Amino acid sequence: MAQRDSKVPKDAVHHPLFARFYAKMSVSADLKGGIAAYRAELLEGLSGRVIEIGAGNGLNFAHYPATVSEVVALEPERTLRNLAAEAALRAEVPVDVVPGAAEAMPVKSEGFDAAVASLVLCTVRDLPRALSEIRRVLRPGGELRFFEHGIAEGRGLATTQRVLDRTVWPLLFGGCHTARDTVAAIEEAGFELGAHRRFRVPKGGPQLPTSPCVLGVARRPQDTDR
Ligand SMILES: C[S@@+](CC[C@H](N)C(=O)[O-])C[C@H]1O[C@@H](n2cnc3c(N)ncnc32)[C@H](O)[C@@H]1O
């Protein structure tokens, strides 16, 4: 019996406490904190085949427009993946929820018109590798839509963020980092940065380590190899 159990593949991410916390907190943040509106803005106008990285409990699914033919939603954490599978049943576009981490996506190259990353590039273990994988699975000209929190523009908060990242924050919040410069990393990974805007969440509320946010689009260039 013990032998059979040991053959069950381990999940790439194992954060059961964080998963339960996030499942509750994220629903409330969507409804009361205005996050649902950012999700709708993030996904507006998408079409074709889409891959979503680290889909969590599937809160984006309700916002995909009908022009999307299929969503492959990767989620490495089991509790959140099960919740995402339930959310997929309620979605108006076909959503296939599958295990998988951003750093080694179980999908073929150039198979997607768009990739979606919301509140996840802060958490992936290896950001350059994850972005390189996103680039690999997008067709040339395909777009990366991102909605992420990251490094503050002001030095005071940025210093606090760096200290938190080296100490308690990743331990408390499922591997999350607050001081990543996601936009710079996207450009360094060879994407063409498109329209994006920076804002604070919660709007008009207290300044949190996760308040500085950016929402936008970047493209895999048309004429390059991986
Ligand atoms: C803060 S939650 C965001 C979930 C969802 N994207 C959303 O917008 O609500 C971070 C998610 O990233 C997932 N995650 C952690 N490490 C990952 C990795 N290496 N690759 C892909 N997803 C990862 C977590 O399991 C979790 O679902």
Structure confidence by residue, pLDDT tens digits, 135-193:
999 999 999 999 999 999 999 999 999 999 999 999 999 999 999 999 999 999 999 99
Q: What is the pLDDT of residue 34?
A: 92
Measured in angstroms, how far is the CA atom of residue 74 from the centroid of ligand 1?
A: 9
In whole angstroms, give the CA distance from residue 18 to residue 54: 14
Is 80 exceeded by the pLDDT of residue 10? no
Pocket test for ligand 1, best of 13, 105, 120, 144 (most atoms within 8 A of CB): 120
Q: Which atom of ligand 1 is nearest to the CA of 15?
A: 25
Q: Would you state the structure tokens that stand for residue 45, as one six-digit string?
A: 């106008």
Per-residue DSSP letter, 61: G
Is 60 exceeded by the pLDDT of residue 8? no
Q: In the structure, which protein residues have their CB atom closer than 6 angstroms to any atom of ligand 1?
A: 13, 22, 26, 53-56, 59-60, 74-77, 80, 101-103, 118-120, 123-125, 175
Q: Which atom of ligand 1 is nearest to the CA of 101?
A: 20
Phi, psi of 41 (to 5 degrees): -65, -40
Mean pLDDT of the residues in the chain: 94
Beta bridge mates, 214: 148, 198
- Each residue's pLDDT tens digit, 130-139: 999 999 999 9
Beta bridge mates, 146: 117, 216
Where does the pLDDT of residue 84 fall: very low under 50, low under 70, confident under 90, or very high at 90 and above? Answer: very high
Q: What is the pLDDT of residue 3?
A: 42
Q: Would you state the structure tokens that stand for residue 32, as one six-digit string?
A: 């009361």
Is 60 exceeded by the pLDDT of residue 1? no
What amino acid is encoded at 23 in this protein?
A
In whole angstroms, give the CA distance from residue 150 to residue 113: 26
Q: What are the structural domains of the chain?
A: 16-219 (3.40.50.150)
CB 197 within 8 A of CB 216: yes
Q: Would you state the structure tokens that stand for residue 65, as one six-digit string?
A: 């427009």
Is 90 exceeded by the pLDDT of residue 195? yes
Q: What is the pLDDT of residue 7?
A: 54
Helix, strand, coil percentages for the chain (3-state, nearest 5): 35, 25, 40
Q: What is the pLDDT of residue 13?
A: 85
CB 130 within 8 A of CB 53: yes
Give the HSE-up count for residue 159: Cα atoms under 13 Å, Cβ half-sphere: 3
Query: Of 23, 29, 16, nearest to 208 (Cα)?
Result: 29
Provide the whole-model pTM: 0.94
Q: What is the pLDDT of residue 4?
A: 43
- Rounded mean pLDDT, 51-78: 98
Residue 163, Cβ neighbours under 10 Å: how many?
14
